[in-house]
Amino acid sequence: MSEVTELDARRLLCPMPVIRLQDCLRKQASGARVRITCTDPGTMNDIPAWCRINDHTLLECDQQDHQISFLVQKSQV
């Protein structure tokens, strides 16, 4: 498995975390994995929705205290 790219989107409000994730994934190869850490609860809706729409796979979603982290894999197409 390739390395996971870490993205810190804490304190950013929606839709900035989605934009950060999208811009990061655009530069990655298919199958690459990115973990994004957020504090805006709106990301609980937005990041899964953005992944579904754009065919990326949400591998994990983990919420601890006020932090939410998402592990996303870029689509194969």
Token digits of residue 5: 């790219």
Specify which residues 70 forms β-bridges with.
Answer: 36, 61
Token digits of residue 48: 């899964």
First to last CA, the chain: 18
Using the rule CB under 8 A, give the single segment among 1-9, 12-20, 29-37, 57-65 that binds other proteins: 12-20
Q: Which of residues 17-76 bind other proteins (CB under 8 A)?
A: 18-19, 22-23, 40-42, 44-46, 49-50, 52-55
| Residues in touch with other proteins (CB under 8 A) | 11, 13-16, 18-19, 22-23, 40-42, 44-46, 49-50, 52-55
